[in-house]
A and B are shown apart, each in its own frame.
Chain A
Amino acid sequence: MNSNWQQTRRDFFTSSASGLGAAALALLLQQDGVLEAADVEANPLAPKQPPLPATAKQCIFILPAGAPSHVDLFDPKPKLRELHGEKPPASLVENVRFAFVKKETAVLAGSAREFSKHGECGMELSDFLPHLGTCADDICLVRSMHTDAFNHHPAQLMLTSGVPRFGRPSMGSWLNYGLGSESSDLPGYVVMSAGRGSSGGVSNWSSGFLPSTYEGVVFRSQGEPVLNLNNPAGISRDVQARALDTLTALNKQRYEALQDPEIASRISSYELAFRMQAAAPELIDLSGETQATLDSYGVTRKEPEKHNFRGGGPNVYRQFATNCLLARRLIERGVRFVTLVHASWDHHSNIDQELGYNTGMADQPIAALIKDLKQRGLLDSTLLIFAGEFGRTPLWENRAGRKNDAVGRDHHPFGYSVFMAGGGIKGGLAYGETDEIGWAPVKDPVHVNDFHATTLKLFGFDHLRFTHRFKGLQVRLTDQGGKVIQRLIA
């Protein structure tokens, strides 16, 4: 850890102009007589400047875990409709494996959705996404994504951490490691989930081999926002403050005796925890939001009459809308990286109905979030990402014994769509193309690792140089490859 402090020490002095959070903290601690100025930069979350010019400073990553169907939402394929019910060319499926599709009897499946053009750019989107259509000119839609992993958990890890395995830091951890956090009262990396959990679980926001300081902290939109945030029954904030005073005083005495910077770091962690105890409940208190804002996100809207199991629990519409609004509030408070998870979009069956249920939940709040950020002048520096771990087959899933009226689509890593907005990404752009049936990119392919490299570029990092030493190697987010796609950047 010592080397980290040395590192941080240098960073503190070279980036003190941006070190507002840390500076404020330093001031506070010095006022309390707790720390000498030089001790405070032990704070590993002190804000740092990126090595290169950056357009994005903060990120909201919406993870529709389970993998939404690109051909039903983002990538219109009239030809696929024409060929509906026909067998796919043998060459296409010959060397491909599926989770559940039986190759011998597989048939092509056109989308039941209608696509229309939106915005000045004329971006074609499915009728499942009417609200998002109104943001078309701010959206950069990538229709040529592809990934290496085939099953949910590995593919989610591929998306969030660059490799299809456990143990690597997620992108949010990398960015907190590289940039610190601007928030002195909240963690730099916050995760919120609606509905049931994703198959990757906490590994999707793990800090991997980086210190857990950089791990995503799960916030809840109701009750206690952070695990163990509330004092035990009977311990009032005054008692807590008084106990913290003594704790700090005793820690400080030890620090004076031994001069171990780890003690100083401990003192500042406890101070931040104490501030979080006040800041986090304030964060989720929406009473200061106008009715218009609440309505635009759909925080108060009616839940559908019938909720379905796959889409989540009974309040998932309101929960997701609330999370989108909280994402904006977190961005306003300087949090570096916000992940919004919703599972699952794994529509192996009954796809038209269940996908409609999910987009009904997600479309309005996401569009409202983009507009809200824009209106508040936050969109320019906030990168919003909506990306699943892969797409879905242009084939019907014909699992043995399944009737045709509940059809779905299987896992499809070869080509799919994601979109981004803000943070210096190019709005009003539909980038890349898949072939006539939406199988694989035929123009401007974007590998998941290209997406990582490009994101890091927006945040002011050369992905080849943003490394951390682990097991004898300089490891990076794009270890398996990846290049910056310059044309995605405004």
Chain B
Amino acid sequence: MRLVAFIVLLVIVSAPTTLYAADTTKLPAAADSEIDFVQNVQPILRKTCYSCHGAEEQEAGLRLDIRSRAFEGGDGGKVILPGKSAESRIVMMVAGLDEDAGIMPPEGEGTPLTPEQISILRAWIDQGAKWPDGVDDASQSSHWSFQPITRPRLPSVGDAAWMVNAIDAYILARLEKAKIAPSPEAPRSTLIRRVYLDLIGLPPTPEELNAFLSDESPDAYERMVERVFASPHYGERRGRQWLDLARYADSDGYEKDRARPHAWRYRNWVIDAINADIPYDQFSIQQLAGDLLADVATEQRVATGFHRNTLHNTEGGTDQEEDRVKKTVDRTNTVGTIWLGLTVGCAQCHRHKYDPLTQREYYQLYAFFNSIDEADIDAPLPADQERFLLAKQAFDAEHGKLQDVVTAYEKAKLAAAQQVWEKTALDTSVVWRDVEYKSAISKHGATLETQKDRSLLAKKTNTVADIYTIATTVMQPVTAVRLEVLPDDSLTKKGPGRANNGNFVLTTFRLQATSATGQDAPKEIALAAAKADFSQKDWDVAKAINEDSADGWAVNPEIGKRHVAVFELKEPVHFDGGTKLTFILDQNYEGETHNIGRFRLSFTSGKLPATLEGLPAIVGDALAVAADKRTAEQAKQVTDYFRTVDPELAKLNKIVSDHAKKAPKTSGVKAQTVSQRAEVRQTNIHIRGDFLAKGDSVSPRTPTVFHDLAPRSEQADRLDFAKWLFAEDNPLMARVTVNRIWQRFFGRGIVETVDDFGTQGELPSHPELLDWLATEFRQQDWSVKRIQRLIVTSRTYRQSAAYRPDLAEADPQNVLLARQQRRRVEAELIRDLSLAASGLLDTRLGGPSVRPPQPAEYSALTYANSAKWQVSKGGDAYRRGLYTFFQRTSPYPMLITFDSPDSTECCTQRTLSNTPLQALTLWNDPAFFECAQSFGWRVLNSVPLSADAEQTVADQGRYAFELSLARRPSEEELAAVVELYRAQLDWAEANEEAVAKIVGKQKPSAGASLEQLAAWIVVGRALLNLDEFITRE
């Protein structure tokens, strides 16, 4: 059909104007009223023409939604001739008067225009086709939420005394108009629990409850609210709500669903940022583009972890580019939902069906997020970092002092010590001189390569009983020779031998010598003694020079280290003109390849006995020169060497290096962050959303329906976009945000579709209130807390939630808020409430995710049991619900049972179900039963005993109510609880075994019995299952 339309239009548009000869008398006459383009014409074009001649498609090259293009016309020329409607082709076409072309829109593509509409179109053209500036559809929409926000005037109300703040004015005005009276204030006990649950997600303690109930000052409520706002648990409560939007989880999702050990670091940032009440613009910009801020701090990078909460597929065969595209799409859509309240994702495959967003614009938006790189960075927690820096400072000071001692010694005493040392240095240690290998031969074909340090490294063939023969020429007399065997990475266990255990056996070490200038055959040199730094048991180095050729020198188990053997000659050897020395290393160890892997040979002319270690030749030579005759270089060589052997300096240096080992360490905490690629990725439109079907390339741009972007440079980036969101003329961000804030306190938004402010969303129930709050939000420097304070202190908020028969017909959905709204609390809070009421809650803030106990069979349902659940120990088993490790493919069952989002995409509003599985969880989940046990114990042991036993039970019953519901029971309620207690006590006395199981590890205190404890546990378990217990009223 589209193709037909295209051809038809092509024919029409390409027909020359002059040949046009249709009967214009059949045209409806132009209307005689004054025509306004926006009011009268644009709606017709929008409805009839744009689908083929709009932003997405321009059949026959014609586009009618933009003034310039409309007047330009199509492939065949102009279609609108101002002042001449009868000659304007657009009129003839919509009238169906072109015999060749048929009618526009073509059959099946839309409804033909009525004669009235054609009259309007004609009149508009005849009146000059005035098309005002700035009304093009591509740049404007008449939809309410795209209009600028202005501060509305406060409505006047009849009962001004009811009002506390502006919110109440808007609410009351509507109610008065509907002739509905607001509800009375909720009881104080309800109010305090409501405020606690809404702001920190924890119940007030009986002490806090009673303090508030007995506070008679007029501002008792406001002061209570301030106290709650100041709690650090405030960040946890609002933080968890934000995590819903941020689709936070502790694993990747998909088949492999790998754990994300650093994800929690972002959660910490959220909690801290909220507790600091960082203004919402900063809060947002840091998450969206913290990495692009000037002088970016670690915390701002951590904030970008927001973008890392996407799913990530590591299943075999996954196309990595496809996965990256999916993440980018998710990032784009999530941002659209949170900050614009728009379902931008609808435009991923085609133009948005309902909102003014083209597919091109979608990918322009997408382009902002298309140059993200993922990076895990070191991100110590601020407090840890502060502690670290303090400790480091203290350490550095201490370390400096120790170094000063060294410096002082070097300045004051080192020279003197050197003089003393020099006097005896040549007498007490020999000088070992390296030799230059003339040849180095392996009998069995191993290669012996000279290394930089003048050692020889054996490679290749490694056969049994190799013999190495190394020849050299020396000029000085030889009194002893030295063999160093050295470790090397190329050797098994680093050697120094080539055996499988790193060992070697030198069965016989021989030395031959002759004159380097004469022709005499080398003579065997007699060796008088051998010593080594280490010899293997039964394999002493002396055995390398004895008669027995089966034994020898070995070094197991001191493997992988350097060892030294020195062989002293019976008589010094010296020939004028040089001595040709031949070393023969025989490794005739039976049956095994125990050859030396790496070694170095040297000799000395010094006095015997020769030390294993000695002076380097260069130092020895310098020392041989009198101190005042040495060259500067020689002097330095001596001094440098002395520094390495001076025992006093070594001692002082060791103190420094030992201290260095105690240097404070950074915490090792990492964070998932994003950064911007140096070279941006090119973005293309994905035709029909298929990432392989690349359409036009696009650059980052904001949709034309909105205010302009003000990029910092030519290429707009994420930071420009983030700042654009908070521009004065953004009509959506403030409205969407205050609406979401509002929803958390009344169960429904002023716009019920909190995630959709587009044309398919609901209209606001109180548009002026919404705009007032939006402007207030800006005026209050984007402080979410201040908006919340306004709401919580309003009269509207403080109303009772009780249903009213008179509202059943008038306002069944409670849209007008003539009362508060009861709501079951979120999954995490159900856990928190039970732990708090029972006294088990570990209130520590932040930190890595924890794994409270869960049924073992549950994680077995994941792919090949991939999600291992190591139950956390100690207090970590009793942390608040928001810290529970969230494994995407097998989330903690209790959370899912109570409608926690699956965290796969941005969740603006949780569903609230009411199921038998929830009942079973609260009754029987071991975690909740443990709460009941502890709760029972608290009730039994916290109430002072009264002389009257009846009275004691009643007091305990009241206390149980305060603990669980933060209120005092009615007589009827108390009677029901006491009755259950009595029945269970009777039962308990007859069921000793069961009682033992019920009380578990709890023990009654003095004066109380096991049976009483068991009875209170059963009662407590019932109270912790009450609808009211898990409901914020």
Contact = CB atoms under 8 A, between A and B. Distances in A.
Contacts of B255: 151-153, 199-200
Contact of A260 (B313, B803, B1022): B803
Interface string A229-255: 111111110111011111101110110
Contacts of A1: 912
B645 interface: no
Contacts of A276: 916, 920
Given A153-B255, A166-B902, A217-B917, A197 B865 contact: yes
B970 A229 contact: no
A191 to B, nearest CB: 9
B132 interface: no
Interface string B800-825: 01110100000011100000001010
B1028 A254 contact: yes
B911 interface: yes
Nearest to A2: B813
Contact of B863 (A44, A100, A197): A197
B861 A269 contact: no
A304 interface: no
Contact of B904 (A98, A167, A199, A473): A167
Interface string A182-202: 000001000001001111111
Given A166-B902, A201-B861, A251 B1027 contact: yes
A227 B893 contact: yes
A209 to B, nearest CB: 7
A150 B317 CA distance: 9
A228 interface: yes
A201 B315 contact: no
A347 B660 CA distance: 57
Interface string A264-281: 011101101110110000
Contacts of A152: 255, 315
A212 B317 contact: no
A201 B343 contact: no
Given A227-B917, A233-B997, A166 B1018 contact: no
Given A220-B857, A260-B803, A272-B916, A212 B899 contact: yes
A187 B916 contact: yes
A246 B979 contact: yes
Nearest to B253: A166
B890 A202 contact: yes
B929 interface: yes
Contacts of A302: none
B1022 A202 contact: no
Given A199-B863, A239-B1018, A166 B905 contact: yes
A100 B316 contact: yes
B354 to A, nearest CB: 8
B911 A209 contact: yes
A227 B919 CA distance: 11
B984 interface: yes
A317 B226 CA distance: 63
Interface string B972-990: 1100110110011001000
Contacts of B926: 232
A250 to B, nearest CB: 6
Contacts of A244: 1022
A197 B862 contact: yes
A164 B898 CA distance: 25
Contact of A196 (B318, B865, B891, B897): B865
Interface string A203-239: 1001001111101011010010011111111111011
Interface string A411-446: 100000000000000000000000000000000000
Contact of B915 (A212, A251, A258): A212
B912 A206 contact: no
A265 B924 contact: no
B1018 A270 contact: no
Contact of B899 (A211, A218, A254): A211
B315 A234 contact: no
B667 interface: no
Given A196-B865, A234-B998, A471-B343, A213 B914 contact: yes
A273 B914 contact: no
A230 B924 contact: yes
Interface stretch (B478-486, B594-602, B712-720, B754-762): B754-762
A6 B929 CA distance: 35
A210 B902 CA distance: 12
A166 B904 contact: yes
A215 to B, nearest CB: 8
B339 interface: no
Nearest to A165: B904
Contact of A213 (B913, B998, B1028): B913
A210 B919 contact: no
A99 interface: yes
B911 to A, nearest CB: 5
A235 B998 contact: yes
B996 interface: yes
Contact of B862 (A2, A201, A267, A273): A201
A366 interface: no
A157 to B, nearest CB: 10
A133 B896 CA distance: 41
A212 to B, nearest CB: 4
Interface string B222-259: 00000000000000000000000000000001110100
Given A196-B865, A234-B996, A258-B802, A247 B1026 contact: yes
Given A187-B917, A232-B998, A239-B984, A203 B889 contact: yes
Question: Counting chain B CB atoms within 10 Å of each CB, which of A239, A246, A276 scores highest?
Answer: A246
A471 B997 contact: no
A217 B939 CA distance: 35
Contacts of A265: 914
Nearest to B255: A199
Contacts of B802: 257-259
B1027 A263 contact: yes
Given A242-B980, A253-B970, A99 B316 contact: yes
B154 interface: no
Contact of A250 (B346, B898, B987, B1026): B1026
B110 interface: no
B851 to A, nearest CB: 17
Contacts of A472: 343, 346, 354, 753, 755-756, 758, 760-761
Nearest to A214: B913
B861 A218 contact: yes
A301 interface: no
Contacts of A166: 253, 311, 902, 904-905
A262 interface: yes
A263 B802 CA distance: 12
B864 interface: yes
B984 A228 contact: no
A238 B987 CA distance: 10
Given A187-B916, A202-B890, A227-B893, A250 B1022 contact: yes
For the complex of A and B, the 3 pairs showing the least CB-CB separation, nearest first, are A99-B317, A234-B997, A472-B756
Interface of B: 253-255, 257, 311, 313, 315-319, 337, 343, 346, 354, 753, 755-756, 758, 760-761, 801-803, 805, 812-814, 822, 824, 855, 857-858, 860-865, 889-891, 893, 896-899, 902, 904-905, 911-921, 923-926, 929, 970, 972-973, 976-977, 979-980, 983-984, 987, 991, 993-998, 1014, 1018-1019, 1021-1023, 1025-1028, 1031, 1033
Given A2-B813, A212-B913, A272-B916, 11 more contacts: A2-B812, A187-B916, A212-B915, A212-B917, A231-B923, A232-B924, A238-B987, A240-B923, A265-B914, A269-B916, A472-B346
30 contacts: A99-B317, A150-B317, A166-B311, A187-B916, A197-B862, A199-B254, A201-B862, A212-B899, A215-B896, A227-B857, A230-B924, A232-B926, A235-B1021, A236-B994, A239-B987, A246-B1019, A247-B1026, A251-B1028, A254-B1027, A258-B801, A258-B802, A258-B822, A262-B1031, A265-B914, A269-B914, A273-B917, A274-B919, A471-B337, A472-B354, A473-B760
